Chain A
Amino acid sequence: GDSVTQMEGPVTLSEEAFLTINCTYTATGYPSLFWYVQYPGEGLQLLLKATKADDKGSNKGFEATYRKETTSFHLEKGSVQVSDSAVYFCALSGANSKLTFGKGITLSVRP
């Protein structure tokens, strides 16, 4: 079945540091890929998405590129802010159109 694997956390960075959060997936066919973010005390919200190979999703300074050859969708940001502290979930929507989520990773950014 479909699965999403995220790097182990938590991650703690200083403000303005570079961020990479790894995500790899297993799926049949051509899934759509997503990053969702969960701020403290809130529900998840869509951060960015990509629907086909080599697409780059971007939002709020975050980027992720759909790499079919490596089955990856790594999240990057050049300069993180304290307000980026949250839990980040990688997810895919496969042949059944249902979302499969990774375990999530907690990011803490210190001033």
Chain B
Amino acid sequence: NAGVTQTPKFRILKIGQSMTLQCAQDMNHNYMYWYRQDPGMGLKLIYYSVGAGITDKGEVPNGYNVSRSTTEDFPLRLELAAPSQTSVYFCASSRTSTGDEKLFFGSGTQLSVL
């Protein structure tokens, strides 16, 4: 079982460059999420999606964009990378959004913006 797959695992960007973090899940989950994890901090929700074609902002959306053209894929786009976006990014999915539903996480993308 692949679960949630993220690519790349590591990336170094220069200020102003753009890139797309890829996320795919094979569990037919409707709900998908992007989080960032800064050192010594909890995870912060960037964007989420409740199904193909539907996305919404989370707690820290500035500087990011998402799309959800299929149930399986939920890419995260950084258009003009800034040092403040240096972080570890996690994609997650869940079957529903009910309060007791668990999230399945990918293994993360470590991004450095220099």
Interchain CB contact under 8 A, B42 and A49: no
Q: Which residues of A contact B48 (CB under 8 A)?
A: 98
Chain A residue nearest to B44 (CB atoms) is A101
A101 to B43, CA, bound (A): 6
Interface-located stretch among A14-22, A37-45, A70-78 = A37-45
B interface footprint on A84-101 (CB within 8 Å = 1, 0 otherwise): 000001010110011111
What's the Cα separation between A91 and B92 when bound, in Å? 15
Within 8 A of A (CB), among B28-53: 40-43, 45, 48
Asked if A24 CB lies within 8 Å of chain B CBs, one says no
A45 touches B100 (CB 8 A): no
Are A101 and B100 touching (Cβ within 8 A)? Answer: no
Which bracket fits the contact residues of B? Answer: 20 to 34
Q: How far is the CA of A67 from the CA of B100 in the complex (A)?
A: 17
Say yes or no: A103 contacts B42, CB within 8 Å.
Answer: yes
Using Cβ atoms and an 8 Å threshold, which residues of chain B touch A42?
107-108
Instruction: Flag if B42 contacts A98 (CB, 8 Å).
Output: no
A residues adjacent to B (C-beta < 8 A): 4, 31-32, 34, 41-46, 49, 51, 89, 91, 93-94, 97-104
Given A51-B99, A101-B42, A103-B42, 16 other A-B residues pairs in contact with their CB atoms under 8 A: A4-B42, A43-B4, A43-B92, A43-B107, A45-B105, A46-B103, A49-B100, A49-B102, A89-B43, A93-B100, A98-B45, A98-B48, A99-B43, A99-B45, A101-B43, A103-B41
